[in-house]
A = this chain, B = another copy of it.
Amino acid sequence: MQKIEPKAAALAERYGSDAIPAAGPWNEVVASLLTHRSVRGYVPTPVPKGTLETMIAAAQSAATSSNLQTWSVVAVNDPATRAEFAKIANNQQHIVECPVFLAFCADISRNERMAAVEGTKLEALPYVETFLVAAIDAALAAQNAVVAAESLGLSTVYIGAMRNNVQRVAELLALPPGVVCVFGLCVGYPKPGAESSVKPRLAQPAILFHERYDASRDEAHRKAYDAALSRYSKAHEMSQYTWTERVLNRMGPIKSMSGRDKLKAALQALGFRLD
């Protein structure tokens, strides 16, 4: 009985009590993953010595495509740089506040430098595929860093808005050609009131299919999830909204992209040809 309760409670928080999936094996690690919340407000308390190195050891332990290791990370403390990042990211003040801020980068420059020294050329470099490998490598690494940080009692939030102006971010971090910051990550201890609740997600059958893709129940899942997110947002956030409202606001008008509609040209300027 005591073992069942936390699992059922965790699943109910993540999916709503009317959409609990038939999850099987469970342990402390899974329980910790289920309780993830993004936190957007930090106290200045520093993290324990060596925390960054522990997180990066976890990050480097993630799989990396063909062991190419096409990613890098820049830890940024300088307040002026942090302030500029916050401005680029539509004034997200947690970028300034958090004790650890990491700029995760897709990085094909290391491999390119190696080839230059060896007097050869890497024909794969200019392709969309290679940029994608590097971005996915960075994401797998970052998620391991997040899991490690959260297991140590820290909170995190990804900053996709670094992509609002990747060229300015590259200047600030002195990134060579072939390196681009694909997202940032804040790490630290939550401000009072900033630790949100677990946000419900779409029911599992909306995103998990068997053998073939099946959108036939999409509308039913969406209606149920609109209701769940409406209840959640009313209880926990400033205003009440449905998932549909959120998605239409976020992806509808081009201006909601905050400049990221120009990402392709910016990537090309930074040395990713995207052939």
Contacts and interface: CB of A to CB of B under 8 A. Distances in A.
A34 B21 contact: no
Interface in A30-56: 30, 32-36, 38, 48-54, 56
A173 to B, nearest CB: 6
Contacts of A250: 66, 68, 124
Contacts of A51: 24-25
Given A60-B202, A147-B33, A213 B175 contact: yes
Task: Give the number of times this chain occurs in the complex, counting copies.
Answer: 2
B30 A151 contact: yes
B62 A36 contact: yes
A109 B215 contact: yes
A200 to B, nearest CB: 10
A220 to B, nearest CB: 12
A246 B67 contact: yes
A74 interface: yes
Contacts of A264: 127-128, 274-275
B174 A212 contact: yes
A33 B11 contact: no
A173 B35 CA distance: 32
A61 to B, nearest CB: 5
B204 A60 contact: yes
The 3 closest A-B pairs by CB, nearest first: A24-B50, A29-B151, A139-B139
A254 interface: yes
A240 interface: no
A110 interface: yes
Contacts of A167: none
Nearest to A77: B211
A51 to B, nearest CB: 5
Contacts of A152: 25, 27, 30
A224 interface: no
Contact of A54 (B24, B114, B212): B24
A59 B74 CA distance: 26
Given A69-B207, A127-B257, A201 B113 contact: no
A124 B36 contact: no
A222 interface: yes
A147 B156 CA distance: 18
Interface in A143-160: 143-144, 146-148, 151-152, 156-158, 160
A163 interface: yes
A158 to B, nearest CB: 5
Nearest to A147: B147
A214 B69 CA distance: 16
B209 A75 contact: yes
